[in-house]
Amino acid sequence: MGRSLQLPVAGLPAAALIVGVGNWWDSIHPDAVSAFLQAGGNAILGQLALLFAVGLALGMSKDKDGAAALAGVVAYFVPVSVLSADTVAKLKGIKLTAVDPAFSHITNNVLIGIIAGLIAAA
C-alpha cells in the first residue's frame, strides 16, 4: 500500500511549489501570472481526493491497467454524489438548510478517496 500512496503524493510538492511561487509573485507584483500559478497549483490540491482514489486503485490492482483507474474514479464519485447535501435533503424530505453542514464538505475528503481507491482495487 505504501508504493500505491507514492503515486498521488508525488505531485504534492510540485503543486505546493507552484502555489508558493504564485503567492510570492502576488506579493511582489499582483498580475495574471500570479493568478495563473495559484490556479494551477490549487487545481491539483483541490482534486486531492480524486488523485488518491485513482492512484490507489491503479497501484493496488494486480494488472495495473486503466480499468482500475476508471473504477477508482467511479468508486469516488458514487459516495460523493450520494452523500451530497442536495441528495441527503431529497432522501430525508427536508429543506436544504436543515441538512447537517458536514454533508456540504464531502466533495474533497481524502479519506473517501483512499477508501474508494482500495475498494476499486479489490
The model's pLDDT over 10-58, given as tens digits with 9 standing for 90+, comes to: 889 999 999 999 999 999 988 899 999 999 999 999 999 999 999 999 9
Residues whose CB falls within 8 Å of the CB of residue 77, separated by 6 or more in sequence, listed in order: none
Q: How many residues does the chain have?
A: 122
pTM above 0.95, yes or no: no
Cell numbers representing residue 25 in the block: 509573485
Best CA proximity match to 73, nearest among 94, 92, 58 = 58
How large a percentage of the chain has pLDDT more than 90? Answer: 70
C-alpha cell at 40: 494551477
**Residue 29 · residue 81 · CB < 8 Å:** no
| Cα separation, 15 vs 47, whole angstroms | 11
CA dist 107 and 93 (Å) reads 22
Residue given cell 507552484 in the structure block: 18
